[in-house]
Structure 1
Amino acid sequence: MQSSLFASAEPQRFMLQGGELTLYPQWVSERKACSLFRWLEKSLAWEQSVIQIYGRPVVIPRLNAWYGDPGCNYQYSGYRLPLNAWLDPLSEIRTRLHDELGVETNSVLANLYRDGQDSVGWHSDDEPELGQNPVIASLSLGGERRFSFRHRRDKTMPPLHLTLTPGSLLVMSGAVQHNWHHCLPKSRKVTAPRINLTYRKVVTV
C-alpha cells in the first residue's frame, strides 16, 4: 500500500456523557477501501470463534482475526484469540493512526460480517487488558452498516445511531467504553460483506 491509499475528510465529533466519538467519513478513499477489503478478505487468518455466554458455548455470528505485537494477548467472553504477526497493510494503517491522529496501538481485531445476518450484540470493549479509558480506532471497509450506542446505566439517555460507510474511521475515546454499550445489529436489507479493523492498545506486563 502506498500513501495514495489514504484520503482526507473533515471529522465529525459527537460528545457523549463521559466520552467522545470522532468520525472521519472518508479516511480511506472509496476506491482504495475496495481494494483493501478484497486483500483482507482473502489474506487474514479468519476464524469463527466460540465464546462462553452464561456457561454455554456459542458460535459468534461473524468471522474474526487478531494481529499484534508479541505478548499482546486478548480474550473476551472466555475465549483467547490466536495472536498473528503483523501484515504490512495492517502495520501501515497503524503507523498512520499514530502519525496523523496520535493514536497509539499495538494490536488490531479484524471482523468480517459476511452479510446482514452477521452482527455483534450490545457490549463494551472494557476488558482489563485494554486498561482505563482505552482509545479504539475502527476502520470500516465493504458494505455500509448501522452502528449504535446506548448508555449502560441511564436508560433515559437517547441512543446514537451512526452509518459507517466504506473508508470511514470511528475513534472512540475518553470513558466511552465504561459508560456506553455499542452494537452492529442484524439487517435484512444488507447483503454486502463488511470488514472492520478495530485498532487498540493492549496493556502488557
Structure 2
Amino acid sequence: MNLFDKPAYPSKNLLPQDGQAYYHGKVIPGVKADDYFKSLWDTIAWKNDEAVIFGKKIVTKRKVAWYGDQEFEYTYSHITKRALPWTKELLEIKRITERSTRETYNSCLLNLYHSGEEGMAWHSDGEKDLKKHGAIASISLGAERKFAFKHKESKETVSLYLEHGSLLLMKGTTQDHWLHRLPPTKKVPAPRINLTFRYINQ
C-alpha cells in the first residue's frame, strides 16, 4: 500500500491490521522546524552508532544520541546507552509531541542521517527496556524521506513520506507484528534528523 500522495489524517490508522500508526503531518511550522534542525545539529552530543552483529562490532556512518528524564540505560543491538539530560530544544519538541499525541514520554533516541545514502534496515522496537505496547512518536526534521512498514507474517507493506516538521505515531501492538525501515536512496543528498520519543520502564 502506497501512501505517498495522501494527506495526513491523524485519526486514520495507516496499518490494515495488528497495530496502530498515525501520520499527523507537519506539527512544527517550516521556519521553526528549520531552527530546530540547526540547533540540534550544532548542540546534540552526536556519536556514530554501534551494533554487535554475529559477535562483530559494527560502527555506522549514521549518528545517534540518547536523552531522557534521568540516566536511563537503553540496550539495542547488544550495545547499551546511558541517557543525557534534556536540552532546552528537546524539551520544547517533547511538549509539542506530547500535546499532539496525547501521550507521555520520558526519553528520546535521536538519529542523524547525513544523506539519503544512510538508512535503517528492517527492525521493530521491542526492547525489554521499553514500555510494552507503549507509544513511540517520531519527529522528522530536514530532508523528506520514505518510511516503510512490513507485516512480519503476511509481508504486506505500507509506505509513506515523512515531511520536514512532521510527526508519525506508532502504538499498541505495532512492534509485535510489524517491522519498519528507512530505506537508503541516492536521490536525497540532504541530511535528516529523526527524534523518536519513547517511554522507558523505570
Tell me the TM-score normalized by structure 2.
0.91
For residues 61 and 203 of structure 1, the distance between their equivalents in structure 2, rounded to whole angstroms, comes to 29
Q: Which residue in the other structure is 1:203 paired with?
A: 201
Q: Report if the CA contact (8 A) 1:72-1:106 is conserved.
A: no
Q: Which residue in the other structure is 2:82 paired with?
A: 82
Q: Which residue in the other structure is 1:102 paired with?
A: 102
Q: Which residue in the other structure is 2:10 paired with?
A: 11
What aligned pairs does 1:1-205 form with structure 2 within 5 A after superposition? Answer: 11=10, 13=12, 14-155=14-155, 158-204=156-202
CA RMSD of aligned residues (A): 1.4
Alignment gaps of 5+ in structure 2: 1-7
Alignment gaps of 5+ in structure 1: 1-8
For residues 16 and 88 of structure 1, the distance between their equivalents in structure 2, rounded to whole angstroms, comes to 38
The amino acid that maps onto 2:120 is V
The amino acid that maps onto 2:198 is R
Q: Report if the CA contact (8 A) 1:20-1:172 is conserved.
A: yes
| Misfit runs of 4+, over 2 Å | 9-13, 95-101
Identical aligned pairs, as a percentage? 38
Q: Which moved more, 1:49-58 or 1:133-142?
A: 49-58
Q: Report if the CA contact (8 A) 1:120-1:185 is conserved.
A: yes
Q: Report if the CA contact (8 A) 2:138-2:169 is conserved.
A: yes
Encode CA deviations 1:144-167: one digit per residue, 9 max, x unaligned: 100011011223xx2011100101
For residues 187 and 35 of structure 2, the distance between their equivalents in structure 1, rounded to whole angstroms, comes to 24
- Greater fraction strand: 2
Q: Report if the CA contact (8 A) 2:147-2:181 is conserved.
A: yes
How far has the Cα of 1:62 moved from its partner?
0.6
Q: Which residue in the other structure is 2:4 paired with?
A: none
For residues 199 and 149 of structure 2, the distance between their equivalents in structure 1, rounded to whole angstroms, comes to 22
Tell me the TM-score normalized by structure 1.
0.90
> How many pairs align?
194
Encode CA deviations 1:139-195: one digit per residue, 9 max, x unaligned: 00000100011011223xx20111001011000011111110000011010100000
